[in-house]
Amino acid sequence: MNRIDRLNALLIHLQSKPRVTLSELEDRFEIGRRTVFRDIRSLIDAGVPIGGEAGEGYFIVEGYHLPPVVFNKEEAAAILMGAKFVEQNADVHTIQEYEKAMYKIKAVLKYSDKEFLDNLNERVAIRPSPTPRQPVDSHIAEIQQAIATNRLVSMTYYSQYNDSTTSREVEPLGMVFYSGRWHLIAFCRLRRDLRDFRTDRIQKVNVLPEIIDPAKHPNYLDFLNEALIGTDAKEATIKCTAKAARFMGEQKYFQGFVEETKLQDGHYQMKFVTPYYDYFARWLMMYGNEIEILSPSELQGIAATIAKNLLEHHSAPFLVKT
Segment 112-121, tens digit of pLDDT? 888 888 888 8
Question: What is the β-pairing status of strands 181-188 and 193-198?
Answer: antiparallel
Condensed to tens digits (0 to 9), the pLDDT of residues 78-126 reads: 888 888 888 777 777 888 888 888 877 777 777 788 888 888 888 888 7
Domain annotation covers residue 36: yes
Give the pLDDT of residue 84: 84
Q: Are residues 223 and 184 in the same domain?
A: yes
Round to whole Å and give the CA distance between 209 and 153.
9
Q: What is the mean pLDDT of residues 241-266?
A: 91
Condensed to tens digits (0 to 9), the pLDDT of residues 43-74 reads: 888 888 888 876 788 888 877 766 666 678 88
The whole domain housing 248 covers: 234-315
pLDDT class for 238, splitting at 50, 70, 90? very high
| Dihedrals phi, psi of 201, to nearest 5 degrees | -105, 0
Does residue 134 have a pLDDT over 60?
no
CATH number (domain holding residue 146): 2.30.30.520
Q: What is the mean pLDDT of residues 272-299?
A: 93
C-beta of residue 187 within 8 angstroms of C-beta of residue 150: no
Whether the pTM exceeds 0.75: the reply is no
Domain annotation covers residue 68: no
Last residue of a domain, one of 179, 203, 229: 229
pLDDT class for 151, splitting at 50, 70, 90? very high
Q: Residues of 293-309 as b/e, b for ≥16 C-beta within 10 angstroms? A: beeeeebbebbeeeeee
Q: Are residues 86 and 118 in the same domain?
A: yes
User: What average pLDDT does the structure give for the chain?
Assistant: 86
Q: Are residues 109 and 156 in the same domain?
A: no
Does residue 231 have a pLDDT over 60?
no
Mean pLDDT is lowest, of 36-45, 130-139, 227-236, 303-312, for 130-139
Condensed to tens digits (0 to 9), the pLDDT of residues 170-192 reads: 999 999 888 778 899 999 999 99
Give residue 117's identity as a one-letter amino acid code.
Answer: L
Q: Are residues 14 and 51 in the same domain?
A: yes
Q: What is the DSSP string of 203-263?
A: EEEEEEEEE--GGGS--HHHHHHHHHH-TT-EEEEEEE-HHHHHHHGGGGGGGTEEEEEE-
Q: Are residues 95 and 19 in the same domain?
A: no
Last residue of a domain, one of 229, 260, 290: 229
Domain annotation covers residue 268: yes
Round to whole Å and give the CA distance between 150 and 212.
5
Give the pLDDT of residue 129: 63
Give residues with Cβ within 8 angstroms of 223, minimum separation 6: 185, 194
Domain annotation covers residue 135: no
Q: Are residues 101 and 52 in the same domain?
A: no
Domain annotation covers residue 150: yes
Domain annotation covers residue 67: no
Give the pLDDT of residue 136: 55
Number of domains in the chain: 4
Give the pLDDT of residue 253: 85
